[in-house]
Amino acid sequence: MSENVRTLCGKLHSKSNISKHRKTCLKCIKYEQSERRRIQEEKCEIDQLKARLDELEKQPKTTNVFVNIIPFSQEPMLSQETIKELLEPASDCVPKYVKQKHFLKAGGNIRIPNKSQKRIQVLCEEAGEKIWVTKDRDDFIKDLTGISMTELDEKYGASNISENYRRWATRFNNSDKIIQQKLDNQILYTILDNQTYDK
């Protein structure tokens, strides 16, 4: 009796008969087929989950955060009202412009990963993919000051909107390195104050 084995369909058969039963019993064949299919499907699902997990582990941890950030140089235009507001006082307008454009509008497409290092990261789009590109911090900020002032005038007509701005910009463009460095510092602090990225 101990030699008897229960088949998938629930019958008891002797060990010597079991393989013949399996091959001929329609119920057992069906059971076995569906069982094999189920295992195959589970294996597929496990493989898919493993692949997805590998993918997630390879991605930087900030992925969820930067999906919504607009890449550098693709920021939408600011409203004329916003521009008017930030032109007074003129001496603060560039940091305010950087805050509006790169942080409030774009969601923070510039970040400084480490305060004690002279590098800055800019969210760029390359071949449809968003990536953080590391640049020299001081060089980049100097460029950003220039780009911002050019845009204020050429895109928004700041000098026509505000006589104070026009005078300030003229003075600034003719000023020495110390004054220009001060503005660069202000922009650096604006980035540090507004970035959501830590470490």
Quick one: which of 1, 5, 13, 25 contacts Zn ion (CB under 5 A)?
25
CB 121 within 8 A of CB 135: yes
Q: Which is nearer to Zn ion, 20 or 118 (CB)?
A: 20
Q: Of the ranges 27-35, 152-160, 168-176, 180-188, which one interacts with Zn ion (CB under 5 A)?
A: 27-35
Q: Of the ranges 5-13, 46-54, 70-78, 163-171, which one interacts with Zn ion (CB under 5 A)?
A: 5-13
Residue 28 interacting with Zn ion (CB under 5 A): yes
Q: Which is nearer to Zn ion, 37 or 167 (CB)?
A: 37
Distance between CA atoms of residues 141 and 184, nearest Å: 6
Instruction: Compute the least distance from the CB of residue 43 to Zn ion, in Å.
Output: 25
The three-state secondary structure class of 136 is strand
Query: At residue 95, what is the residue type?
Result: P
Quick one: which of 5, 9, 29, 161 contacts Zn ion (CB under 5 A)?
9
| H-helix segments, the chain | 15-24, 26-58, 63-66, 80-86, 93-98, 137-154, 158-161, 163-173, 177-194
Residue 29 interacting with Zn ion (CB under 5 A): no
Instruction: Compute the least distance from the CB of residue 7 to Zn ion, in Å.
Output: 4
Instruction: Compute the least distance from the CB of residue 29 to Zn ion, in Å.
Output: 8
Q: Of the ranges 28-36, 92-100, 145-153, 156-164, which one interacts with Zn ion (CB under 5 A)?
A: 28-36
- Please give the radius of gyration of the chain, using alpha carbons only, rounded to the nearest integer: 33
Instruction: Compute the least distance from the CB of residue 64 to Zn ion, in Å.
Output: 52
- Contacts of residue 169, defined as CB under 8 A and 6 or more positions apart, other chains included, come to 90, 149, 152, 153, 158, 159
What is 77-119 written as a DSSP string?
Answer: PPPHHHHHHHTSSGGGHHHHHHIIIIIIITS--EE-S-TTSSE
Count of residues touching Zn ion (by CB under 5 A): 5
Residue 17 interacting with Zn ion (CB under 5 A): no
Residues lying near Zn ion in the complex (CB under 5 A) are found at 7, 9, 25, 27-28
